[in-house]
Amino acid sequence: MKTNSATRRDLALGIIVVLLLLSVTAAFPQFARPGNLAEILDDSAILILLALGQILVILNCSAPATVDPR
């Protein structure tokens, strides 16, 4: 269960993301078009999959997170 401060932090981060999206859309109206958002997600799909893989490794502790200095 999340603590109250963690919930507030998550809410604050969500609000910041929405405000950032709105400000970029106000400056560049073509940014929020569905085709452009689909292209952004398509371009970043590989990085998203790599990040999810790293999260799974860290959470499962199946590989050491350090490098041997030898």
Indicate the pTM of the whole model.
Answer: 0.57
Residue 15: inside a domain, yes or no? yes
Mean pLDDT of 13-30: 95
The residues, ordered by sequence, that sit 6+ positions from 30 with a Cβ below 8 Å of its Cβ are 36
How many domains does one find in the chain?
A: 2
54: domain range? 33-63
Across the chain, mean pLDDT equals 87
CB 31 within 8 A of CB 24: yes
38 with 56, same domain?
Answer: yes
22 with 41, same domain?
Answer: no
Mean pLDDT of 41-52: 93
For residue 42, pLDDT beyond 60 = yes
18 with 37, same domain?
Answer: no
Closest CA to 33 of 21, 45, 44, 16: 21
17 with 1, same domain?
Answer: yes
Angle (deg, nearest 10), helices 34-43 and 45-60:
50
Give whichever of 4-13, 37-46, 56-65 has the largest mean pLDDT.
37-46
DSSP for residue 29:
G
